[in-house]
Amino acid sequence: MIPITSFAGKQVAVFGLGSSGLASCAALEAGGGEVIAFDDDPAKVAAAASRGIATSDLRHIDWTRIAALVLSPGVPLTHPAPHWSVALAREAAVEIIGDIELYCRERRAKTPGAPFVAVTGTNGKSTTTALIAHVLTAGGIEAQRGGNIGVAILSLDPPAPGRAHVIECSSYQIDLAPSLDPSVGILLNVSPDHLDRHGTIERYAAIKARLVEGVPPDGTAIVGVDDEWSEKIADRLERAGRQVTRISVLRRLEHGFYAEADRIVKAEPGRKPRMIARIGGIGSLRGRHNAQNAACATAAALALGLAGDAIERGLRSFPGLAHRMEQVGRKGRVLFVNDSKATNADAAARALASFSDIFWIAGGKAKTGGIAALAEYFPRIRKTYLIGEAAEEFAATLDGRVAYEDAGTLERAVALAARDAAASRCSDPVVLLSPACASFDQFPNFEIRGSAFRELVRKLDGVEAVESIEESA
């Protein structure tokens, strides 16, 4: 735990009692603060009280005594409407912050030189966060990962000069961290997302930009420049006199890092481009999107002092992140891949682009547009196994273009796909769960769906399991 001493002797309101909210309460109290906590869910309030946390309905407290409102990131700050606790805090002129901001203040006060890597982007931030932490650890640097990746930042060990914190930051968290100042800040990409929370793509992009804008002059701001929004952010930073490390997987750069074939290349003005690492043949880093993740991880690791050979060893030993192009097993020629995180067509496209002979398990609760946008990848698909509510809609899209079968359930789909892949004449058949759908018709979330797929695969006779980060952590 990281004790938060910046509110010692002060009263702090905490709203939202999930994992990050509970960690904030514990950290504030450990640092000498007085906490008053609440949640709209009575069960969460009761659970917090059972831990000895002081709870009270924030509608009935004296806000003139409150130094800050620590808001959990999932609670609406601006859109579609501010939460009632936000309105009360603003009426009393009380600052509203989150757990990332608490961390930043504590780090600046106690150990400002401690390595702090912050990662954001619309896609790829979890994999990049896990990859950086893995590469650093493999290279002999103590690294802990947390934030939006599932471990509350204040649950980590305190910042220290020899300990790197690698933190995934969502737009919600950045919005609550006005003084976010990582020593290495990474913006992977920006595309329309969470507009119900932020209102417009312009506001969403501006919030993402804060992470790299906050990097101090002696730090490293890393920006993927393969989308319009991120390139504009990089241009704006440079016009303001800031140093920017650009990343591309679509073109060569004169200054920055780019992926070319199976290599990560560093380019500097006046010098010959040099290869830093090879990424060809790394099963956990297939696809162009993972090349971007690897290039950003490489730039971050170099900034923290790792040499190129150590970085490549780390990249090659990366086991992959659960539910994101996760290799879960192999049976002879057949590879089984869990991409349950692909809850829409755009996400599924990245997986479909990464393989040639695919036995595709798709379906669930469909998103707007279905899978029509995936037509360019249909030639890669040998057969599709449809599950859940979307089966009829997806069948209509596939009809006459891709062989398909309505499997109904994930269990039956795995059995059918495994049978057909093994019987095929393909040299490298892949049974791929990349649903292009939400899970809610059959599973509570994509993690449970992916775990069910993993378990079903490993129950098949003759399957050799492959371990992911979620299992080995």
pLDDT digits (tens, 9 = 90+) for 356-382: 999 999 999 988 889 999 999 999 999
Please say if the pLDDT value at position 182 is more than 60. Answer: yes
The closest of 473, 471, 170, 190 to 338, measured between CA atoms, is 471
> What CA–CA distance (Å, rounded) separates 194 from 127?
19
> What CA–CA distance (Å, rounded) separates 382 from 358?
6
Please say if the pLDDT value at position 469 is more than 70. Answer: no
Q: How confident is the model at residue 194 (pLDDT cuts 50, 70, 90)?
A: low
- Mapping DSSP to helix (H, G, I), strand (E, B) and coil, where does residue 13 land? strand
> What CA–CA distance (Å, rounded) separates 126 from 147?
10
Average pLDDT (134-162) is 96
Facing residues of 160 across strands?
163
> What CA–CA distance (Å, rounded) separates 340 from 353?
16
pLDDT tens-place string over residues 285-329: 988 889 999 999 999 999 999 999 999 999 999 988 899 999 999
H or E stretch at 288: helix 288-303
Write the CB contacts of 255 (distance below 8 Å, at least 6 apart in sequence).
246, 267, 268, 269
- pLDDT for position 80: 86
> What CA–CA distance (Å, rounded) separates 34 from 53?
10
The CA angle 275-278-280, to the nearest 5 degrees, is 145
- pLDDT for position 31: 98
Task: Report the length, in residues, of the chain.
Answer: 473
- Mapping DSSP to helix (H, G, I), strand (E, B) and coil, where does residue 208 land? helix
> What CA–CA distance (Å, rounded) separates 387 from 270?
55
Please say if the pLDDT value at position 151 is more than 50. Answer: yes
H or E stretch at 184: strand 184-187
pLDDT tens-place string over residues 200-257: 889 999 999 999 999 999 999 999 999 999 999 999 999 999 999 999 999 999 999 9
pLDDT tens-place string over residues 433-445: 999 999 999 999 9
DSSP 292: H
Domain assignments of the chain as residue spans, ordered by start: 11-97, 101-316, 326-472
| 193 or 203, higher pLDDT | 203
- pLDDT for position 468: 67
CB 314 within 8 A of CB 277: no
DSSP string, 216-250: -TTSEEEEE-SSHHHHHHHHHHHHTT--EEEEESS
CB 77 within 8 A of CB 170: no
- Mapping DSSP to helix (H, G, I), strand (E, B) and coil, where does residue 257 land? strand
Helix ranges restricted to H, 5-118: 19-30, 42-50, 84-91, 99-110
- pLDDT for position 471: 46
Facing residues of 154 across strands?
none
Q: Is 1 exposed, middle or buried (0-12, 13-18, 19+ CB in 10 A)?
A: middle
Q: 472: how many CB neighbours lie within 10 A of its CB?
A: 8
Peptide bond into 80 cis (omega under 30): yes
> 101-316 and 326-472: same fold?
no
User: Which one of 3.90.1150.10, 3.90.1640.10, 3.40.50.300, 3.40.50.720 gives the CATH number of domain 11-97?
Assistant: 3.40.50.720
- pLDDT for position 260: 92
> What CA–CA distance (Å, rounded) separates 95 from 104?
15
Facing residues of 433 across strands?
338, 361
Q: Which CATH superfamily is domain 101-316 in?
A: Mur-like, catalytic domain (3.40.1190.10)
Please say if the pLDDT value at position 11 is more than 80. Answer: yes
State the average pLDDT for the chain: 94
Q: What is the dihedral of CA 119, 120, 122, 123, to 10 degrees?
A: 0
Please say if the pLDDT value at position 156 is more than 80. Answer: yes
**Percentage above 70 pLDDT, the chain:** 97
DSSP 372: G
- pLDDT for position 286: 87
Q: Is 393 exposed, middle or buried (0-12, 13-18, 19+ CB in 10 A)?
A: middle
CB 18 within 8 A of CB 73: no
Q: Which residue has the tokens 């880093």?
A: 285
pLDDT tens-place string over residues 253-273: 999 999 998 999 999 999 999
- pLDDT for position 320: 86
Average pLDDT (124-140) is 95
pLDDT tens-place string over residues 382-409: 999 999 999 999 999 999 999 999 999 9
pLDDT tens-place string over residues 207-216: 999 999 999 9
pTM of the shown model: 0.87
Residue type, 269: P
> What CA–CA distance (Å, rounded) separates 215 from 29?
29
- pLDDT for position 367: 83
Average pLDDT (115-138) is 95
CB 143 within 8 A of CB 130: no
Average pLDDT (106-125) is 95
> What CA–CA distance (Å, rounded) separates 360 from 363?
10
**Class of domain 326-472 (CATH, top level):** alpha beta
Q: Is 422 exposed, middle or buried (0-12, 13-18, 19+ CB in 10 A)?
A: middle
Write the CB contacts of 142 (distance below 8 Å, at least 6 apart in sequence).
136, 162, 163, 164
- pLDDT for position 369: 85
Please say if the pLDDT value at position 473 is more than 50. Answer: no
